[in-house]
Amino acid sequence: MATLTVRNLDDALVTRLKECAAQNGRSLESEIREVLASYAERPTNAEMKQMAERIAARTDPSIQTDSVELLREDRWR
């Protein structure tokens, strides 16, 4: 396993991480490992764009009515 050193962290950030670690019953080191792993598992911007494109491809390409127009119509009923 690799070792990572992070310098010049803001004191308030470290305090907050310590609080989170205590709430989660973990050491600070373990909490930081969890935060980094969670962040690394998130989809990248490129992956998010691909997902959006796949969803858009399954959506009817016809022009959709602007929701503002629908709300205005509803208001006058």
- Residue spans of the domains in the chain: they are 10-55
- Alpha-helix runs per DSSP H in the chain: 11-23, 28-41, 45-58, 67-75
pLDDT at residue number 16: 98
46-63 residue pLDDT tens: 999 999 999 988 988 777
- Token reading at 34: 């969890």
pLDDT at residue number 40: 96
4-40 residue pLDDT tens: 999 999 999 999 999 999 999 999 999 999 999 999 9
